[in-house]
């Protein structure tokens, strides 16, 4: 059921398939025995090993009891549904998010089961929340981001009943844990449709809920340099994903947070502080402010800061020990970011970007080291030398 059925009907290759059944998780495990493990706490799922594949099997979800025992209210009147098991597709479908994701393929008779008008919505390329759209968005504000992601991915338009709460309830995203918003941000921008997702987020006033400082600067910037840089970075990300190349959240956040970084750097330059120390200090501050809204794990934030702090070095180092700079593990990512700045129209770095490009073309061994990996073999001590002995020192 779900996205796999939807993609098949749209003529796309499904990424995976979701299997649902009226069997309880323990019953699934009894059938598949050692090939099955159960995961999850609130709602248990069965992972069944089939050759080299893992097939996820879920039990139908239900409504709860007739008195509404399956739902509860939070102190701010948001409705939260507790997961309960159901016995039939007719119950399960109403717990799904969008009508086009609520289609079931029955392998018994090779039919598609549609309780919510998903087939009609597929034909009209419409994205519609199942049930009361206002209630569904209040239950879980992340559905708003999921709506944007699917609309961008499928190139669908929003049904009017779905569009209204997307505009109305964006501020509920402030109540979502930053770690969860990080996961959703990666789904939006690392799913192959980053640029269209970004434009939809801004159209509905949602990008500012994720990156408030960046959005405020984009809205009042006289030139469109920052917007060009971000959109070019997202377009490049989409191209890399389409080509099967790796992408990293560190580079994504380096681009998305570049406007606030630059703003604070300008303020510190007015105080006469040196460029390198300025970038290091501001980088810490910008990330510390951002993680209150969308977190950035330390393994990525460290690389983001290195991409930023390497920028002055790339401009300053040209024609002076360039080979040494290329040995830095973040050189490639920092160079790519420098080129991104030049392509977005930053005249101050255009010459440095051109110089480094020509240098790598003339020294091809510097081009192959992937960003994020340390280069060069580990240095070994000469035979007979002990740790701490100086080279050439008398024994």
Active site residue 336: no
* Active-site pick, 7, 92, 97, 238: 97
* Active-site pick, 18, 71, 140, 336: 18
Can you read off the two tokens belonging to residue 264? 């604070």
C-alpha neighbours within 13 Å on the C-beta side of residue 344: 25
* Active-site pick, 16, 171, 224, 389: 16
3-state secondary structure the chain: CCHHHHHHHCCCCCCCCCEEECCCHHHHHHHHHHHEEEECCCCCEEEEEECCEEEEEEECECCCCCCCCCEEECCCCCEEECCCECCCHHHHHHHCCEHHHCEEEECCCCEEEECCCHHHHHHHCEECECCCHHHHHHHCCHHHHHHHHHHHHHCCEECHHHHHHHHHCHHHHHHCCHHHHHHHHHHHHCCCCHHHHHHHHHHCCCHHHHCHHHHHHHHHCCCCHHHHHHHHHHHHHHHHHHCCCCCCHHHHHHHHCHHHHHHHHHHHHCCCCCHHHHHHHHHHHHHHHHCCCCCCCHHHHHHHHHHHHHHHHHHHHCCCCHHHHHCCCCHHHHHHHHHHHHHCCCHHHHHHHHHHHHHHHHCHHHCCCCCCCCCCCCCCCCCCCCCCCCCCCCC
Active site residue 132: no
Active site residue 18: yes
Positions marked catalytic: 16, 18, 97
């Amino acid at each position: 059921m779900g996205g796999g059925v939807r993609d098949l009907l749209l003529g796309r290759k499904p990424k995976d398939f979701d299997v649902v059944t009226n069997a309880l998780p323990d019953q699934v495990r009894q059938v598949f025995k050692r090939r099955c493990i159960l995961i999850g706490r609130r709602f248990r799922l069965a992972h069944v090993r089939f050759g080299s594949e893992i097939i996820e099997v879920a039990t139908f979800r239900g409504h709860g009891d007739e008195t509404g025992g399956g739902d509860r209210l939070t102190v701010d009147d948001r409705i939260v549904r507790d997961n309960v098991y159901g016995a039939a597709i007719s119950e399960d479908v109403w717990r799904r998010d969008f009508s086009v994701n609520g289609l079931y393929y029955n392998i018994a008779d090779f039919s598609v089961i549609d309780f919510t008008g998903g087939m009609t919505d597929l034909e009209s390329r419409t994205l519609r929340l199942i049930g009361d759209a206002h209630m569904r968005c209040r239950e879980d504000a992340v559905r708003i981001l999921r709506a944007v992601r699917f609309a961008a991915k499928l190139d669908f338009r929003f049904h009017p009943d779905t569009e209204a709460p997307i505009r109305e309830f964006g501020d509920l995203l402030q109540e979502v844990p930053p770690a969860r918003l990080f996961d959703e941000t990666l789904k939006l921008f690392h799913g192959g449709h980053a640029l269209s997702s970004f434009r939809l987020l801004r159209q509905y006033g949602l990008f500012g809920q994720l990156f408030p400082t960046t959005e405020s600067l984009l809205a009042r910037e006289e030139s469109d340099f920052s917007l060009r840089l971000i959109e070019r970075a997202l377009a490049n990300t989409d191209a890399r994903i389409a080509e099967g190349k790796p992408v990293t959240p560190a580079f994504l956040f380096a681009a998305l947070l570049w406007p606030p970084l630059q703003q604070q750097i300008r303020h510190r330059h007015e105080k006469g502080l040196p460029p390198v120390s300025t970038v290091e200090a501001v980088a810490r501050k910008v990330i510390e402010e951002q993680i209150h809204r969308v977190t950035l794990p330390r393994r990525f934030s460290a690389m983001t800061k290195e991409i930023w702090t390497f920028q002055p070095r790339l401009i300053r180092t040209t024609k002076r020990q360039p080979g040494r700079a290329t040995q830095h593990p973040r050189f490639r990512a920092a160079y790519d970011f420098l080129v991104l700045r030049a392509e977005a129209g930053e005249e101050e770095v255009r010459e440095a970007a051109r110089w480094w490009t020509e240098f790598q073309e003339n020294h091809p061994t510097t081009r192959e080291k992937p960003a994020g990996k340390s280069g060069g073999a580990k240095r070994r001590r000469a035979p007979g030398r002990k740790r701490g002995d100086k080279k050439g020192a008398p024994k």
